[in-house]
Amino acid sequence: MNERNWQTHIDILGWLYLLSNAFLLVIGIIGLLFFAGIGIASGEPEAAGILGVIGVAGLVFFTILAVPGLLTGYGLLKRHSWARILALVVGFFSLANFPIGSIIGVYTYVVLLQAGITDHFDTLKTA
């Protein structure tokens, strides 16, 4: 791969991480609204409280899952040297999320384990 191809693939990978993990945040928000809405619609304060807590717990869970991927996407787009290592770690865990996460995980390893890509990130450390 040449320099232009690396930059294109790293950009694609960064956007894939940002979009796929933003989708996790959207799922968490929808879950919160769903459970809170059911609780409010039931008209019972206990149900509203319990379902609200379940919705918040779901949002926190999906946020915890999404933050590493969002950081990875940001770091890759900005070409931070730490982002390559983080992408390899997050890509490994993404392999278990079949089929989309598996595709992103394999693509991460194909792109970021190329000979010479480390030098590309190291030369841009200060950026």
pLDDT in tens, 51-82: 999 999 999 999 999 999 999 999 999 989 89
Q: What is the mean pLDDT of residues 33-43?
A: 95
The backbone torsions φ and ψ at residue 32, rounded to the nearest 5 degrees and listed phi first, read: -60, -50
Residue type, 74: Y
pTM of this structure: 0.87
Cα–Cα distance, 27 to 94 (Å, whole number): 17
90 and 68 in contact (C-beta within 8 Å)? Answer: yes
